[in-house]
């Protein structure tokens, strides 16, 4: 078969979805070398290729490159798919090109329903894309892949997607996420980024949905009780509506020595950032899956997260879960983890075991199964 793939997430600096797509693109040709794979993008893509060039073809089409990636895909994707005579098109960003041939099996991945559940936490542009084109793609797709049971149930209940049309494939974490020596990792991060060697960590784009305001309240509680033993380092790109958050930090009286926005860290430094942390905090209001806490657990770090949406499903009892608005609960959990060595060891072991259940090869195999099983039935009907 010839399989077309939306490779837009593989461009430039990447966040969780881009890393997830990279691991799949790496492994599916290894698992199913009998097929050909075509990666479509309007700019250069970067990923660690494992397979021979003859299996994977990069189709970088720079026409309409001035357009945002999603609009380029809508306008150019179908023509590229026709040229390559693809049998399957996988829309990794939930948007299908306009006028794909009827003979092409259309598969999309839906990561979350934040645009429907919390529209006020997303940008106007993303809201437009999701409401206009992702919703249409969900209706037109032959198969909808979801990354958690939580997202699956939302699709079924809110948009009426037939259950039999959905396939659950949990994301995987990259092999680089494994425990490093905590002291050496913290020293490396400290020297490279000019931060203290002892720190708490959180990861995510600085935007309303990540609920960082509850961590500001948490730090203030710890500070007032003389229990703020180390600063919180916030890693992630600045999103939107973050000026209010920075004003809240200022109003709270917290200093740069107590909370620090480090910005984006390259992929190769993230395992060291996680491994060197005292504890990882993730108070997000809403996630389709939530890769950062799983990556942190893979690196042996105790995780304290919100109990929102899919967190109980994903973290599987290996983390401490608190109400997303409960700053007192987060503060008490931090003190408990930092003061109880036996608890830290237990959480480390449980977290590593849980993270190992999200395997790259397993996710890729499940995706190949979706490509092959349905496609074989239709092509040979």
Question: What would the pLDDT profile of 171-182 be if each residue is shown by its tens digit?
Answer: 998 889 999 999
pLDDT of residue 380: 34
Does one domain contain both 369 and 268? no
Q: Do 153 and 293 fall into the same domain?
A: no
Q: pLDDT tens digits for 43-58?
A: 888 877 766 667 899 9
Structural domain contains residue 134: yes
In a domain, 269, yes or no: yes
291 falls within a domain: yes
d(CA 301, CA 275): 6
Whether residue 177 lies inside any domain: the answer is no
DSSP letter at 304 equals E
Give yes or no: residues 49 and 94 share one domain. Answer: yes
Q: When comparing pLDDT for 375 and 227, which is higher?
A: 227
Do 231 and 145 lie in a common domain? Answer: no
What whole-number distance in Å separates Cα of residue 1 and Cα of residue 339?
56
Question: What average pLDDT score do residues 345-366 get?
Answer: 95
355 has pLDDT over 80: yes
Do residues 36 and 94 both lie within one domain? Answer: yes
Residue 105 in any domain: the answer is: yes
- Do the Cβ atoms of 242 and 271 come closer than 8 Å? no
Q: Do residues 363 and 347 both lie within one domain? A: no
375: domain CATH number? 3.40.50.2000
Task: Report the chain's terminal Cα–Cα distance, integer Å.
Answer: 15
Residue 306 lies in a domain: yes
Under the banding of pLDDT at 50, 70 and 90, the label for residue 65 is: low
pLDDT band at residue 334 using 50, 70 and 90 as cut-offs:
very high
For residue 366, give every residue at least 6 positions away whose Cβ sits within 8 Å of its Cβ, in sequence order, or none.
167, 169
- When divided into structural domains, the chain yields a total of 2
Are 235 and 165 part of one and the same domain?
A: no
Provide mean pLDDT across the span 74-96: 94
Distance of alpha carbon 196 from alpha carbon 181, whole angstroms: 16
What pLDDT was estimated at residue 326? 95
Q: Mark whether 116 and 255 lie in a shared domain.
A: no
Question: For 49, phi and psi rounded to 5 degrees?
Answer: -75, 135
Residue 19 has pLDDT above 80, yes or no: yes
Q: Could you tell me the residue range of the domain that residue 88 belongs to?
A: 2-172+359-379
pLDDT averaged over every residue in the chain:
90
Same structural domain, 26 and 65: yes
Q: Is the pLDDT at 381 greater than 60, yes or no? A: no
pLDDT for 378 equals 47
Residue 158 has pLDDT above 70, yes or no: yes
Looking at the fold, whether 122 and 260 belong to one and the same domain comes out as no
Same-domain status, 163 and 220? no
Look at 92-106, 176-190, 239-253 and tell me which has the smallest mean pLDDT. Answer: 239-253
Q: Is the pLDDT confidence value at 290 over 60? A: yes
Beta bridge partners, 233, equal 201, 260
* Residue with the larger pLDDT of the pair 231 and 373: 231
Q: Is 160 left (phi over 0), alpha (psi -120 to 50) or beta?
A: left
Task: Report residue 186 as tokens.
Answer: 């913290």
Q: Are 319 and 193 members of one domain?
A: yes
pLDDT at 47: 79
- Give the model's pLDDT for residue 64: 65
With beta carbons less than 8 A apart as the criterion, state whether 46 and 104 touch.
no
């Amino acid at each position: 078969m010839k399989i077309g793939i939306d490779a837009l997430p593989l461009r430039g600096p990447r966040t969780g979805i881009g890393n997830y797509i990279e691991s799949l693109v790496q492994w599916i040709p290894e698992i199913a070398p009998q097929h050909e794979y075509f990666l479509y993008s309007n700019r250069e893509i970067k990923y660690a290729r494992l397979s021979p060039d003859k299996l994977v073809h990069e189709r970088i089409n720079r026409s309409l490159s001035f357009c945002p990636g999603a609009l380029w895909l809508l306008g150019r994707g179908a023509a590229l798919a026709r040229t390559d005579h693809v049998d399957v098109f996988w829309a990794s960003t939930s948007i299908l090109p306009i006028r794909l041939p009827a003979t092409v099996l259309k598969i999309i991945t839906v990561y979350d329903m934040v645009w429907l559940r919390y529209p006020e936490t997303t940008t106007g542009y993303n809201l437009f894309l999701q409401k206009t084109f992702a919703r249409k793609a969900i209706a037109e797709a032959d198969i909808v892949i979801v990354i958690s049971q939580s997202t699956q149930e939302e699709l079924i209940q809110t948009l009426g997607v037939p259950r039999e049309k959905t396939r659950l494939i949990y994301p995987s974490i990259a092999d680089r996420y494994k425990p490093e020596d905590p002291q050496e990792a913290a020293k490396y991060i400290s020297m490279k980024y000019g931060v203290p060697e002892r720190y708490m960590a959180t990861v995510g784009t600085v935007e309303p949905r990540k609920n960082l305001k509850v961590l500001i309240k948490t730090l203030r509680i710890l500070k007032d009780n003389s229990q703020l033993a180390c600063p919180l380092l916030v890693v992630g790109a600045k999103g939107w509506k973050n000026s209010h958050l920075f004003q809240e930090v200022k109003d709270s009286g917290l200093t740069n020595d107590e909370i620090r926005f480090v910005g984006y860290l390259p992929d190769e430094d993230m395992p060291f950032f996680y491994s060197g942390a005292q504890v990882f905090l993730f108070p997000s209001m809403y996630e389709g899956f939530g890769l950062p806490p799983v990556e942190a657990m893979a690196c042996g770090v105790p995780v304290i997260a919100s109990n929102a949406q899919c967190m109980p499903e994903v973290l599987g009892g290996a983390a401490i879960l608190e109400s997303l608005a409960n700053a007192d609960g987060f503060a008490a959990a931090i003190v408990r983890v930092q003061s109880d060595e036996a608890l830290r060891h237990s959480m480390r072991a449980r977290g590593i075991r849980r993270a190992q259940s999200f395997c790259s090869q397993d996710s890729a195999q499940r995706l190949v199964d979706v490509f092959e099983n349905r496609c074989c039935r239709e092509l040979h009907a």
